[in-house]
């Protein structure tokens, strides 16, 4: 049973991070796009991948834990997107698509979980402060490294957003699916063509070999910072997995639909 659980977790990581071979004609098969995909994949052990997914399961174990994750993401994206607005770095500007921006969606989710006065009541956690501080530091000293944050967060959210948002909605029984606006990219109807375009723009940037390697190194650091966010969450991953399995069984038996019909 334990080995099956690990295989399932690794499978979900692969889906969320889009770890699969790409066509030779894809922008992902060359340049900085390839260096980022290949460099980050090789540097993360199976244990780290499992920790990443276990952390997400911990986040969807309870509504409180998931709201804690949303809160962390809000402060991270606040630092990121403010830095994107303020930087003069040409590479960052070229890759800063408005359709990727997450702040409006996160503000909607924050109001759902913490109420209308959330701006005066919520504070970032220690891991969130570390993450946001890193973003602000490089924005002022090495702004090209912000590209690594775009790559790791935006593309990860876009690749895995539908799956993760759906898992949260099923596990937590959220009101009419509210509280997961962060995972909805309404202006991007098809993720893969969009990401191919983003990678093409990435490969066209005028960067030195040294800068490219620095961006790959930063992307690995961002992955570690994200794991720290998950490690702080209060939920129980086993509880989240049980909730998802129970939900799937109920849907297979038609229990959920009969219950809704009875209360309609």
Question: Which residues make up each annotated binding site for heme b?
Answer: 44, 151
Residue 227 near residue 49 (C-beta atoms within 8 A): no
Task: Measure the CA–CA gap between 257 and 263, rounded to whole angstroms.
Answer: 10
Annotated binding site: 44, 151
């Amino acid at each position: 049973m334990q080995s099956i659980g690990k295989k399932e977790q690794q499978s979900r990581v692969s889906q969320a991070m889009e770890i699969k071979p790409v066509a030779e004609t894809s922008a992902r098969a060359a340049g900085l796009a390839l260096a980022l995909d290949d460099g980050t994949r090789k540097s993360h052990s199976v244990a780290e991948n499992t920790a990443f997914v276990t952390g997400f399961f911990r986040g969807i174990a309870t509504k409180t834990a998931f709201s804690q994750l949303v809160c962390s993401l809000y402060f991270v994206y606040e630092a990121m997107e403010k830095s994107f607005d303020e930087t003069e770095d040409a590479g960052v500007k070229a890759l800063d698509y408005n359709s990727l921006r997450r702040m409006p969606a996160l503000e909607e989710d924050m109001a759902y979980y913490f109420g209308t006065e959330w701006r005066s009541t919520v504070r970032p956690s220690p891991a969130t402060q570390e993450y946001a501080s890193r973003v602000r530091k490089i924005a002022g000293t090495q702004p090209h490294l912000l590209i690594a944050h775009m790559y790791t967060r935006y593309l990860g959210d876009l690749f895995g957003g539908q799956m993760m948002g759906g898992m949260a909605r099923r596990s937590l029984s959220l009101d009419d699916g509210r509280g997961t606006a962060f995972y909805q990219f309404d202006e991007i109807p098809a993720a893969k063509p969009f990401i191919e375009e983003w990678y093409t723009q990435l490969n066209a940037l005028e960067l030195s070999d040294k800068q490219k390697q620095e961006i790959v190194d930063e992307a690995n650091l961002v992955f570690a910072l994200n794991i720290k966010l998950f490690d702080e969450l209060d939920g129980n991953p086993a509880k989240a997995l049980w909730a998802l399995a129970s939900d799937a069984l109920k849907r297979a038996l038609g229990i959920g639909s009969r219950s809704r019909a009875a209360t309609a």
